[in-house]
Amino acid sequence: MKKLTVCVIAMSMMTLLASCATSTDTPVTTAIDGGSFLSQYPTRDRIDYVLNCIAKHGGLNYVNQYACGCKIDKIAEKLTFKDYEEAVTFGFMGKTAGENGAAFRDPEQAKRLKKQIKQAEDEAESSCFVK
């Protein structure tokens, strides 16, 4: 009898969990400031940006960690993740020397996105880092 009760409870819990996992409800999404692109940025890319920023600003300390986190948040308010990713790719691949890099340096889209990310980074730098 005790085993049957345990089985019934276990089956009930599994059914409950399965129904939660297969719910057809629309997932809740949160927009910061009513329309920010912040939630579109994958955690991996945000962490990569913060770690590179910390290294660029002299290493890990509380001030750099906070400021670099603030900086990617400010950039995310200005650029969609798609535009951010394309701008980073154009910037990185545009460093390729000669003719091979021209496909990443010369298009109008590359120039526009590099200008946008530079402007977003400059604004974020001035608002996040205490000087």
Nearest to 38 by CA among 1, 77, 68: 77
pLDDT tens sequence across 49-94: 999 999 999 999 999 999 999 999 999 999 999 999 999 998 888 8
| 93-120 per-position pLDDT tens digit | 888 888 888 888 888 888 899 999 999 9
